Amino acid sequence: MNKQNRQGKETVRIGGASGFWGDSGIGPVQLVEKGEVDYLVFDYLAELTMSLLAAARLKNPETGYALDFVTGALRAVLKPALAQGIRIVSNAGGVNPRACAAAVRKLAEELGVPVRVAVVDGDDLLPQLDALRESGVRDMQTGAAMPARILTANAYLGAVPIRAALDAGADIVITGRCVDSAVTLGVLMHEFGWEPGAYDLMAAGSLAGHIIECGCQATGGLHTDWEQVPDWANIGYPVVTCRPDGTFLVGKPPGTGGLVNPATVGEQMLYEIGDPAAYLLPDVICDFTGVTLRQAAPDLVEVQGARGRAPTASYKVSATYADGYRCSAQLTIVGFDAVRKARRSGEAFLERSRALLARAGLPDFTETRLDVLGTAASFGPHVPQPPLFEAVMWLAVAHPDKRALELFAREIAPAGTSWSPGTTGVGGRPSVSLAIKQFPFLVPKTMVRPAVWLDEQPLPLPAAFVPGEEAQASPASGKAAATAASAFTPAEPGGDWVEVPLIRLAYGRSGDKGDFSNIGIIARDAAYLPLIAGQLSEAAVAAFLAHNVKGRVTRYFLPGIGAFNFLCEQALGGGGMASLRNDPLGKGMGQVLLAMPVRVPPGLARALGA
């Protein structure tokens, strides 16, 4: 393999300019002005985002893509980026990549810059919906049959089409639904000539993409030790400096805020990966259990050790469907007994609304959720509730008939004069929205036809889509479990041991995949691993989180970074736009688990300040 990329350089620098639809506009500007990058990659498409884009396209067929990619990011940096030879790859196309590309061309014409724009499509499976339904596809998480009213159905494509677009000379590549890390892997395949069968390199490139796909989450954003992260207002966006052998450095532009160390990078590595020995992507099955992180310099971490094997014969498809309507309301309650007043207000709303529904001949709500925020409601029974003098009522309801929720919404404002003293923060009538839910399933790769268009002309794709064997149970999973068992002996608490919160021993990060919550726990010191392993069993974690987690909890071990990954099923009330919870994406689940009490020897407790 050549030791240089296409430009004759030994490395390629890629900046992660966006972590989601709605990310700050400072990322691309910062990276173009002082990141010294060769590429900008933008990630916009979470499962929730696809639902939102589907709803937007229902209202206007010319939308359905990330509008601010064009009107914000590209308007700010397109001209200087092209002048520096920086190329751009983004999945901003959402459910309408052709419309996104047309908007980019219009902007380039307005700015007076020539640009070659490629589109990757073929992920939209709506035209095959009848055949998919007849084939009996099932929800890959619940086993449910396909709903009647499907709005979108998009396969998660891989990196090969992106590589083909770059090989053909595209300045900007816009995709529909691809896996988040593919925008980075496609760049590396193009630059270093990596072939699809080089699975260790595919895994390494995917890991580089995974670490930067959420923007500042790799550079100190959401870090457990948040007080150690300087200058939030000027936080640096991530830059990976990648080598042909698959190793890479994670950093950020000089003079920016944030923090890059093994803990911040490790938290992001664990984010939403499920089984770390079998992270399934369309190009490769990744094994991250042996990955190591080394502080190479201030705010610079070297990453190596990713391994890969042949991908499965299936693509994952994320479909969305409409399932009635939802509405959520909030009130702030001030003064004595704020919590009890807030709860009574919510109960009164429900009682009154139900009576009005009955009078109108409408059935009851299909689902309701009443929480009092500010009371550590996410922690369930684990945190004592001291008297509070300010609380927020959160009340969310669902119903198949929009009229029922419009009736509910009209009853929120009267609380300002009708019920609890100290009621404020009504903020007007809450809006009613479609309840758009996710239906994930698998399809054979032979049913999907990715396509690439450069300046609206088709490009041939290489015969690179050679699926491996379907992996129902990964042999690497068993290997990781065996490694966990042999690496150390879990410590059993002694009679004189002292309780401390888990956060004293570990870092944590959590996220979502549909109704699954993924919680990564990294030991602050390798010496703490036996303590964590002995007390954070699957059963113990399931019991501690039982107020939110209704399904199975599975624990995975990553010996390379001294971490555990907990996959919690039926944990988010349906997840995304289906959930009535205030935390539908599980962002707070890691913080809840870090509050779990663990017992440590008295000497260690004193050293930890307990």
Kindly list the domain boundaries of the chain, sorted by start residue. Answer: 12-122+157-312+449-459, 325-437, 488-607
Is the separation of the CB atoms in 561 and 292 below 8 Å?
Answer: yes
Q: Tell me the Cα Rg of the chain.
A: 25
pLDDT tens string 449-491: 999 999 999 998 876 544 444 433 344 444 444 444 456 788 8
Q: What is the 3-state secondary structure (H, E, C) of 407-466?
A: HHHHCCCCHHHHCCCCEECCCCCCCCEEEEEEEEEEEEHHHCCCEEEECCEEECCCCCCC
- What Cα–Cα distance (Å) separates residue 225 from each residue in 228, 258, 471, 587? 6, 12, 37, 16
Angle at 202 between CA 480 and CA 137, to 5 degrees: 75
Q: Please tell me the number of Cα atoms within 13 Å of 556 on its side-chain side.
A: 29
pLDDT of residue 3: 57
Among residues 137, 47, 121, 37, the alpha carbon closest in space to that of 77 is found at: 37
- 3-state SS assignment for residue 126: helix
Tell me, what's the pLDDT at 484? 47
DSSP type of residue 595: T
**pLDDT, position 480:** 46
Quote the CA–CA distance of 266 and 526 in Å, as a whole number.
Answer: 14
Instruction: For residue 518, give the amino acid letter.
Output: N
What is the structure's pLDDT at 468? 46
C-alpha 17/C-alpha 72 separation (Å) is: 12
What's the whole-number average pLDDT of the chain?
Answer: 92
Q: Any residues with CB less than 8 A from the CB of 299 and at least 6 apart, and which? A: 236, 251, 252, 258, 259, 260, 261
CA 427 to chain CA centroid, nearest Å: 30
Question: In which element (H, E) is residue 570 found?
Answer: none
Pick the closest to residue 31 from 179, 71, 23 (CA basis): 23
| pLDDT-flagged residues of the chain (< 50) | 1-2, 465-485
Distance separating alpha carbons of residues 15 and 41, to the nearest angstrom: 6
Q: Which residue is associated with the tokens 């770390």?
A: 276
What lies within 8 Å, CB to CB, of 368 at 6+ separation is 350, 395, 396, 397, 398, 580
Q: Which candidate, 587, 607, 415, 426, places its Cα nearest to that of 518?
A: 587
**Backbone phi and psi for residue 556, each to the nearest 5 degrees, phi listed first:** -120, 155
Per the CB < 8 A criterion, the answer to whether 270 and 506 are in contact is no
Residue pair 240/218 in contact (Cβ under 8 Å)? The answer is: no
Q: For residue 463, what pLDDT is reported?
A: 64
The whole-model pTM stands at 0.93
The pLDDT score that the predictor gives to residue 428 is 81
Which CATH number is associated with domain 325-437?
A: 3.30.70
- Distance in angstroms (rounded) separating the CA atoms of residues 284 and 471: 11
Distances (CA, A) of 252 to 238, 246, 263: 5, 19, 15
Which token pair is 542?
Answer: 């399931």
Structure tokens at 394: 């959160």
